[in-house]
Chains A and B, each alone.
Chain A
Amino acid sequence: MATAANDVSTKYEAVIGLEVHVQLLTKTKIFCGCPNHFGSEPNSNVCPVCLGMPGALPVLNQQAVEFAVKASQALNLVVNETSIFARKNYFYPDLPKGYQISQFDKPLAERGWIEVTTAEGALKRIGITRLHMEEDAGKSMHEGFADSDAKTYVDLNRTGTPLAEIVSEPEISTPDEAWQYLTKLREIMLYTEVSDCNMEEGSLRCDANVSLRPRGQKALGTKVEVKNLNSFRFVKQALEYEIERQAEALGEGGTIQQETRLYNPGEGRTYTMRTKERAHDYRYFPEPDLLPLIVTAERQAAIRATLPELPEAKRARLIAEYGLSAGDAATLTATRERADLFETEAKLAKSPKRLANIVLSELQGRLKAAEIELEDSPVTLAGARLAADLVEEGKISSKILKELFDHAFEQKLDFPAIYEKEKPQQITDSAEIEKMIDEVIAASPKQVEQYKAGKTTMIGFFVGQIMKASKGKANPAVVNEILVKKLSE
């Protein structure tokens, strides 16, 4: 398979475009005051507007507009002052009006980008063609009822949920770039709090278009659309499979059929869903029940002012301000909540770098082993900050730190509580420490000689020996002070 993949990438170049639908986190639907809520009893969040009853008129939700503008700005898109809603004619019972209100030739926003890193390590901007607003359809249930062979059951709670559809340029070249694009897009939607991006509940959905062309050729090959991509991992796997499949067909002199394929995650392959592509003629026309959507420059500026610091900027700043590595910064900014928690404590910590180290090693390691999230951790970030400060001040050794963390996780107590309870009976009595130091010095004449000859790094050896002798209880600061004095006598 690995060699096959190499053959593919030398002969062919993949061209991938992604269409992402994001449900906006409003309280109500896009054109009516019904609750926008997942998991309610079927057909309990409905009204004449979303049921498509004759004479019912849509009124646009202001909050949905603000979220869509905010998302556009965070994705570097240019927001149009005027955009137009359009009817997309569509005959399925999940949209009882017989059309979907969407935007067509004048979308809300155009020409943005997301940056990814190529396999060669270079930064690459993936263009975003457009972001437009539209309403979601209801849910059709084809299976699971006694008469499912003849009937489809329809729940219209989801009908009218506000969506932002985000369409990329066909500028993605590998499954990994697609994965990065989606990961960054989701991160930005979560940071700006316009969507919860919950893929199990369908708050973020993705379709992929993929075609191959011989390297060096300008014209695009025939594209295939892949659906049923319920996780970013599946997007990557489905694209990998599709690139292999198309390369094989082309390699044998065959052609690619323009079609829609479904990904089957259990088997890791795609299947033909429909080949007969009807002309994509949805007979779009301007929605006569809605005025053009105006978002003036002033309103755009007001919305832009509410944008939080975005993930990329936050990472760059954490690296610069706290001396974190790129990897550490990425872990600490995985969610906005986590990043904010870290920063609150980092500002108070004696050494933000030490706090980061303790969070990433002691805390994350134990959370991973116990399979719990930071949000449910017995040791909070404030607790970790106390731990970091104690180490920084030399009040506890790193050995004691590890023990206290173990106790905290065993007893499900935060660090300050466990420190009070299990506080090591630290030896700070200088007479007692001096005695231990004398013993160690007496037992290591060779090392003393080396130290006096200028090998000052030997100090670590002595501290280690004393800590061992005191079972980690000697106050490191006091040890250091007396040790240096003794050794220079």
Chain B
Amino acid sequence: MKVTEKDVAYVADLANLELTPGESGRMAADLNSILDHMDKLNQLDTAGVEPMAEAVSAFSASAAGDRFAYAQRADEVHPGLDRAAALANAPDTDGICFRVPKVIER
């Protein structure tokens, strides 16, 4: 058991989740089985295996040229959403602002 129910409670609290005791036990079991699977993968000898294609190494500082350039955009205004459209999916608004239950600092 790598992950205890105490760990689950801590992570759930950080993530604003309220778990029932049953859910909490199931989460611990799931998390442990994921970590066990990783352990199994770690048993493989991958020393001679090329890494899969991924973005990070292609954009490292040593990569020549301006290849990073298209990862950024020019400082130009683009039309966004009308307020009505922006608010359309909100559960509650006054037509101007989003309205949410009173925010209390935790």
Residues of A within 8 A of B (CB): 26-28, 32-35, 41-48, 50-51, 59-65, 81-82, 89, 91-93, 140-142, 145, 148-156, 273-274, 278, 281, 283, 290-294, 296
Whether A33 pairs with B77 at a CB distance below 8 angstroms is: yes
Q: Which residues of B contact A82 (CB under 8 A)?
A: 60-61
- Secondary structure of the A contact surface, majority rule: loop
Most buried by A among B60, B87, B94, B100: B100
- Secondary structure of the B contact surface, majority rule: loop
Q: Which residue of B lies closest to A37 (CB)?
A: B77
Min CB gap A225→B, angstroms = 13
Whether A154 pairs with B98 at a CB distance below 8 angstroms is: yes
Residue in B68, B73, B83, B97 whose CB lies within 8 Å of A154: B97
Residue in A42, A93, A149 whose CB lies within 8 Å of B100: A93
Q: Which residues of B contact A43 (CB under 8 A)?
A: 83, 86-87, 96-98
Q: Chain B: how many interface residues by the 8 Å CB criterion? A: 36
Q: Which residues of B contact A50 (CB under 8 A)?
A: 80
Scan B1-35; emit 1 where CB is below 8 A from any A CB, else 0: 00000000000001110000000000000000000
Whether A142 pairs with B105 at a CB distance below 8 angstroms is: no
Q: Which residues of A contact B102 (CB under 8 A)?
A: 142, 148-152
Q: Which residue of B lies closest to A60 (CB)?
A: B72
CA distance A150 to B99 in the complex (A): 10
> Is B56 among interface residues, defined by CB-CB distance under 8 A?
yes
Min CB gap B90→A, angstroms = 9
> Is B53 among interface residues, defined by CB-CB distance under 8 A?
no
Q: Which residues of B contact A154 (CB under 8 A)?
A: 97-100
> Is B40 among interface residues, defined by CB-CB distance under 8 A?
no
Most buried by A among B16, B55, B101, B102: B102
Min CB gap A28→B, angstroms = 5
CA distance A51 to B82 in the complex (A): 12
Whether A47 pairs with B81 at a CB distance below 8 angstroms is: yes
Min CB gap B101→A, angstroms = 7
CA distance A154 to B79 in the complex (A): 21
Residue in A42, A274, A281 whose CB lies within 8 Å of B14: A281
Most buried by A among B74, B94, B102, B103: B103
Whether A296 pairs with B61 at a CB distance below 8 angstroms is: yes
Min CB gap A486→B, angstroms = 72
Whether B80 pairs with A34 at a CB distance below 8 angstroms is: yes
> Is B37 among interface residues, defined by CB-CB distance under 8 A?
no
A–B complex contacts, Cβ < 8 Å, 26 sampled? A32-B78, A41-B96, A45-B80, A46-B80, A46-B81, A47-B80, A47-B81, A48-B81, A50-B80, A51-B81, A60-B72, A62-B72, A62-B75, A63-B75, A91-B16, A92-B103, A145-B94, A151-B92, A152-B102, A153-B97, A153-B99, A154-B97, A155-B98, A291-B68, A294-B61, A294-B63
CA distance A296 to B63 in the complex (A): 10
CA distance A323 to B31 in the complex (A): 73
Q: Which residues of B contact A63 (CB under 8 A)?
A: 74-75
Whether A156 pairs with B80 at a CB distance below 8 angstroms is: no
Q: Which residues of A contact B80 (CB under 8 A)?
A: 32-34, 45-47, 50
Q: Which residues of A contact B106 (CB under 8 A)?
A: 278
Asked whether A27 and B72 contact (CB < 8 A) given A42-B96, A81-B61, the answer is no
CA distance A154 to B100 in the complex (A): 8
> Is B76 among interface residues, defined by CB-CB distance under 8 A?
yes
